[in-house]
């Protein structure tokens, strides 16, 4: 039986520049708070959010989302309002 590769359609047009949303580690937010924020703001499923939180914890930062800068800026503001440190990298 052959395996099929599942591909997601990108909502980014070919002319748009891809930006990255970077989440930074801190010493006061709990894993549960970070995971909940990633699920609610970024649309991650629970397992993906948990993996991102662990990577941020051990590496210090992680690119948690890519897309257009306008959408990511709104996500960054929402994450920052929840007490997380995030930044959009163009």
Query: Would you say residue 38 lies in a domain?
Result: yes
Collect all residues with Cβ–Cβ distance below 8 Å to 47 and sequence separation of at least 6.
none
Instruction: Please answer whether residues 33 and 23 qualify as being in contact, where contact means their C-beta atoms are separated by less than 8 angstroms.
Output: no
Query: Would you say residue 47 lies in a domain?
Result: yes
Tens-digit pLDDT profile for residues 8-32: 445 555 567 899 999 999 999 999 9
Quote the number of domains for the chain: 1
> In this model, does residue 1 exceed pLDDT 80?
no
Alpha-carbon span 59 to 74, nearest angstrom: 24
Alpha-carbon span 81 to 62, nearest angstrom: 19
Query: Using the 8-state DSSP alphabet, how is residue 51 labeled?
Result: H
Position 14 scores a pLDDT of: 58
- Band the pLDDT of 4: cuts 50, 70, 90: very low
Question: What is the residue whose two structure tokens read 């949303």?
Answer: 21
Q: Domain range holding 49?
A: 27-89
Tens-digit pLDDT profile for residues 37-70: 999 999 999 999 999 999 999 999 999 999 999 9
């Amino acid at each position: 039986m052959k395996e099929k590769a599942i591909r997601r359609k990108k909502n980014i047009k070919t002319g748009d520049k891809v930006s990255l949303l970077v989440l930074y580690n801190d010493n006061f937010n709990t894993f549960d708070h970070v995971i909940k924020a990633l699920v609610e703001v970024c649309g991650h499923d629970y397992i993906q959010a948990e993996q991102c939180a662990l990577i941020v914890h051990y590496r210090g930062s992680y690119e948690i989302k890519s897309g257009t800068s306008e959408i990511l800026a709104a996500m960054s503001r929402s994450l920052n309002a929840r007490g997380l440190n995030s930044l959009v990298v163009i």
